[in-house]
Amino acid sequence: MMRELILFGVFVALLLCSCSENEQVEGAVARVNDRYLMEDELQSVMPENQSPQDSILFRNNYINTWATRELLYNKALINVRSEDDEIETLVEDYRRELLIDRYKRAVLQQDLDTVVTEEDLDEYYEQNKNVYRLNEDLLQLKLIHFALDINDKKEIEKLFNSKEAEDIEALEERELEFFALSLNDSMWVSKTQAEARLPLLKEEKSLKKGQFIKKEDSLGVYLVAIKDVLHRNDVAPKSYVTPTIRQMILHNRKLELMNEIEKTLVMDAINNKQFEQYKNED
């Protein structure tokens, strides 16, 4: 009798397990064995502003991809030797690296000095300027483009060529009358960028410091004043490489900070008897 009760209990347990495996878990959109893909997870990766057709396509593709990975993983568990410690070692090493990286980022966010002064930029530039060589020509220029039928062409040209602040301001106040206006000739731009904006520059065999260019075509009148030119392999001006220098300064600070943290960590561990290095007997 007891044996029959035990067998009946086992039968009921198996039946319940079978039923539970086939039941749809609330909020699930798919199942592979005992793993479920939930609607919340699917919605978190669903692109916005899709058409209904695209949403259905994305949904089906995501579910199929998820199921394929789960099935491959299950096959791998069966066919890859479970006693092989290499995978477990790799997983543990990866986990350690993730935790260490997260800790480092938290420390850097808290302790890193992110203020880069002009003095910092100057010092780094002077020490490393020969590293920053140009791979294309740079230009400092100003330009204006206006209609052929504008009334005071000569006055505009006079104001454009003037170095007086009030004349520059006078042009800026009329900016809406022009097709294009750029009077900041202290900024360096690559020749490629300048030619993209002003194709007429491609017609010039060589651009020189102090050069003035005036062109007319069916689209209007172009005035271009070249303030300065730097050529390929020249040392890049500080203003042009400032973003790169700022990144390098911060990168070096990160390395220095982490180096100090690691040194302090080791010394504290030695002092607290948490870290010992044993002598080699050989």
pLDDT in 10s for each residue of the chain, 282 residues: 444 433 333 333 333 344 345 567 888 999 999 899 999 999 999 898 889 899 899 999 999 999 999 999 888 888 777 556 777 888 889 999 999 999 999 999 999 999 999 999 999 999 999 999 999 999 999 999 999 999 899 999 999 999 899 999 999 999 999 999 999 999 999 999 999 888 888 888 889 999 999 999 888 999 999 999 999 999 999 999 999 999 999 999 999 999 999 999 999 998 998 888 878 765
State the pLDDT at residue 4: 43
Q: According to the model, what pLDDT value does residue 168 have?
A: 92
Angstrom distance (rounded) from CA 155 to CA 90: 75
The pLDDT of residue 282 is 59
Q: Can you tell me the distance from the alpha carbon of 29 to that of 31, in angstroms, rounded to the nearest whole number?
A: 7
Instruction: Give pTM, 2 decimals.
Output: 0.66
